[in-house]
């Protein structure tokens, strides 16, 4: 098995990956909050951890990959204080909250499918695990690390920190600092310490999504779902927990605190965080209003986009940067990615047409290991891609008859490309994307040629065209102003 190094946010260094249970990996990744369309920022972790998931499986692990759907909780920060985001959107659109969640979940799935992101093994809904979250809150209360205040339950950060000395370790935060930098929040008076966070929140009258609990009718706190569902499906300790860097604090820090307070240790061995995507140097985010949805990328319908970008272009673009680096969006960079990606796909097709020689004039034996080395070094997909381009050059050189490859070496290159391009990096050939314009153009050409034939009274040709198109499922309809067509 390959020796995989992954960067652990907890230790700030690359560590050799060793699963708790031999040959099995449990990984949990924070999924989307389904109250809006997915944007590039959602694609980054999805693709990053999709590649990790694919690679772990490729090198022989059996992986249980859990990625949640957040359809409850999460307080609004501004205007509508304390209102559940889902509920707010529902009221605005006059829809049932769960209808909104379902709608955006479906849209999210469609976008992820387009990006060739594999579905996780389990995709639990927060709303389906309120019981588990209530139980978790009770356990934390029983352990003495939470307190009830006016129907809400808060985590006692100070007590936790006194006993475990670890709050802030993941994010490199100093707890004392938090006192002076905390903003005012709704319900802050209910807390003993400004750094305490809600485990259960009593619902205000305007809340639509609400559940019974021992403390009040309300909804679960911001960080409980991942702890509850991670524990339920992966156990008290699992291997990898992933998510965006912006979730490090407070979300993941709080997850660690919740889990540690009831079982003495954090939820996982390796924390992995992907970096952000920026647009004009600024973070792309829902609340900043500067985001471009994935659908807008696919259709090109956004003022910042000069053209539509195929899902695979987006995927390739993201994989061309290392996951821990920020990536700045620009049309120029995307166009460059699109061209490079096309070149790679073209080389793969060319590979299938190469004439084998008796012997090879180039040594291609090293590429496979070079690709593994790059992947093993904290999923360095940009390096993998650079090796793939080197291979593309070899392929093209052979195609130009300036070098030779034996059948065995051609097969080796094909094997390496199949493995890394398609299986591990999850790219797929998408040259046949949206064909509408193409078909229109082709049909115009054909019908023009037929019109010429008809003008020349060449009925044999014009009928042949009509009959053969008909056999292909295209009906030609002659009219006074020329012919039109219809696809059956």
Partner RNA sequence: GGUCGUUUGGCCGAGGGGCUAGGCACAGGUCUGCAAAACCUGCUACUCCGGUUCAAAUCCGGAAGCGACCUCCA
Least separation in angstroms between residue 130's CB and RNA is 17
Q: Which is nearer to RNA, 130 or 398 (CB)?
A: 398
> What single DSSP character describes residue 287?
G
Distance CA 53, CA 67 (A): 12
Q: Which is nearer to RNA, 44 or 466 (CB)?
A: 44
Q: Count H helices, E strands: the chain?
A: 16, 15
Q: Which is nearer to RNA, 335 or 443 (CB)?
A: 335
Residues numbered 286-305 forming contacts with RNA, rule: CB under 7 A: 286-288, 291
Among 33, 127, 133, 231, binds RNA (CB under 7 A): 33
Q: Which is nearer to RNA, 403 or 451 (CB)?
A: 403
Least separation in angstroms between residue 378's CB and RNA is 7
Residues numbered 94-153 forming contacts with RNA, rule: CB under 7 A: none
CB 336 within 8 A of CB 141: no
Backbone φ and ψ of 409, nearest 5°: -75, -35
Least separation in angstroms between residue 9's CB and RNA is 10
Count of chain residues binding RNA (CB under 7 A): 84
Q: Which is nearer to RNA, 86 or 447 (CB)?
A: 86
Tokens of 287: 């609340």
Distance CA 224, CA 2 (A): 35
Residues numbered 249-268 forming contacts with RNA, rule: CB under 7 A: 249-251
- The dihedral region occupied by 112, where left means phi > 0, alpha psi between -120 and 50, and beta the remainder, is alpha
Among 258, 278, 293, 376, binds RNA (CB under 7 A): 278
Distance CA 94, CA 326 (A): 38
Residues 6 or more apart in contact with residue 222 via CB below 8 angstroms: 73, 74, 75, 197, 198, 250, 251, 254
**Beta-strand relationship, 268-274 and 238-244:** parallel
Q: Which is nearer to RNA, 208 or 335 (CB)?
A: 335
Among 42, 129, 241, 269, binds RNA (CB under 7 A): 42
Residues numbered 378-407 forming contacts with RNA, rule: CB under 7 A: 380, 382-383, 385-386, 389-390, 392-393, 396-397, 399-400, 402
Residues numbered 190-219 forming contacts with RNA, rule: CB under 7 A: 194-197
CB 374 within 8 A of CB 380: yes
Among 66, 126, 327, 351, binds RNA (CB under 7 A): 327
Least separation in angstroms between residue 463's CB and RNA is 30
Among 2, 102, 330, 404, binds RNA (CB under 7 A): 330
Among 3, 21, 212, 282, binds RNA (CB under 7 A): 282
Distance CA 6, CA 240 (A): 10
CA distances, 26 to each of 318, 356, 400, 459 (Å): 24, 44, 47, 68
The interface region with RNA, picked from 167-175, 411-419, 422-430, 442-450 by CB under 7 A, is 167-175
Residue 238 belongs to what H/E stretch? strand 238-244
Residues numbered 222-241 forming contacts with RNA, rule: CB under 7 A: 222
Among 22, 281, 289, 479, binds RNA (CB under 7 A): 281
Among 272, 340, 412, 425, binds RNA (CB under 7 A): 340
Residues numbered 412-471 forming contacts with RNA, rule: CB under 7 A: none
Q: Which is nearer to RNA, 114 or 198 (CB)?
A: 198
- Whole-angstrom Cα Rg for the chain: 28
Site string for RNA, 350-379 (x = CB under 7 A): ---------------------------x--
Distance CA 93, CA 58 (A): 44
Among 32, 97, 124, 230, binds RNA (CB under 7 A): 32
Give the residue carrying structure tokens 């949990």.
28
Among 112, 240, 321, 410, binds RNA (CB under 7 A): 321
Strand order in the sheet with 277-279: 282-283, 277-279, 327-329
Least separation in angstroms between residue 401's CB and RNA is 10
Q: How far apart are the first and last CA of the chain?
A: 51
Q: Which is nearer to RNA, 79 or 455 (CB)?
A: 79
> What single DSSP character describes residue 95?
-
179 CB-side CA count, 13 A: 5
Residue 224's CB is within 10 A of a number of other CB atoms, namely 30
Least separation in angstroms between residue 155's CB and RNA is 10
Q: Which is nearer to RNA, 135 or 377 (CB)?
A: 377
Residues 6 or more apart in contact with residue 108 via CB below 8 angstroms: 32, 34, 38, 42, 69
Residues numbered 51-90 forming contacts with RNA, rule: CB under 7 A: 70, 74-77, 85
């Amino acid at each position: 098995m390959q020796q995989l190094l992954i960067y652990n946010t907890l230790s700030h260094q690359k560590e050799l990956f060793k699963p708790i249970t031999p040959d099995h990996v449990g990984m949990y990744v924070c999924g989307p909050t389904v109250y809006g369309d997915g944007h590039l920022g959602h694609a980054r972790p999805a693709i990053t951890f999709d590649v990790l998931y694919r690679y772990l499986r490729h090198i022989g692990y059996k992986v249980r990959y859990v990625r949640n759907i957040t359809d409850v909780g999460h307080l609004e920060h501004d205007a509508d204080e304390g209102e559940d985001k889902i509920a707010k959107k529902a009221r605005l659109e006059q829809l049932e909250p769960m209808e909104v969640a379902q709608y955006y979940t479906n849209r999210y799935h469609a976008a992820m499918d387009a990006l060739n992101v594999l579905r996780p093994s389990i995709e639990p809904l927060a709303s389906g695990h309120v019981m588990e979250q209530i139980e978790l809150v009770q356990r934390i209360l029983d352990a003495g690390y939470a307190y009830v205040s006016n129907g809400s339950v808060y985590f006692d950060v100070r007590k936790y920190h006194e006993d475990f000395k670890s709050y802030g370790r993941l994010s490199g935060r100093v707890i004392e600092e938090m006192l002076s930098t905390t903003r005012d929040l709704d319900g802050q008076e209910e807390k003993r310490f400004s750094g305490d966070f809600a485990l259960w929140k009593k619902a205000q009258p305007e809340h639509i999504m609400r559940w019974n609990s021992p403390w009040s009718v309300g909804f679960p706190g911001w960080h409980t779902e991942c702890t509850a569902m991670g524990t339920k499906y992966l156990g008290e300790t699992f291997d990898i927990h992933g998510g965006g860097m912006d979730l490090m604090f407070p979300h993941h820090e709080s997850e660690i605190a919740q889990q540690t307070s009831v079982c003495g240790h954090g939820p996982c061995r390796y924390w992995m965080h992907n970096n952000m995507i920026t647009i004009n140097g600024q973070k792309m985010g829902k609340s900043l209003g500067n985001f471009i949805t994935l659908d807008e990328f696919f259709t090109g319908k956004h003022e910042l986009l000069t053209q539509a970008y195929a899902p695979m272009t987006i995927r390739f673009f993201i994989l061309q940067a290392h996951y821990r680096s920020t990536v700045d969006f620009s049309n120029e960079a995307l166009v460059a990615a699109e061209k490079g990606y096309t070149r790679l796909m073209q080389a793969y097709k060319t590979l299938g047409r190469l004439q084998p020689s008796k012997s090879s004039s180039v040594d291609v034996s090293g590429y496979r290991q070079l690709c593994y080395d790059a992947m093993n070094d904290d999923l360095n997909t940009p390096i993998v891609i650079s090796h793939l381009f080197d291979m593309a050059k070899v392929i093209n050189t052979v195609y130009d008859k300036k070098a030779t490859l034996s059948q065995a070496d051609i097969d080796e290159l094909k094997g390496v490309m199949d493995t890394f391009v398609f299986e591990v990096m999850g790219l797929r050939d998408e040259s046949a994307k949206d064909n509408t314009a193409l078909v229109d153009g082709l049909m115009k050409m054909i019908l023009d040629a037929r019109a010429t034939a008809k003008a020349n009274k060449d009925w044999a040709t014009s009928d042949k065209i009509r009959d053969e198109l008909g056999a292909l499922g295209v009906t030609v309809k002659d009219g006074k102003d020329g012919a039109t067509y219809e696809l059956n």
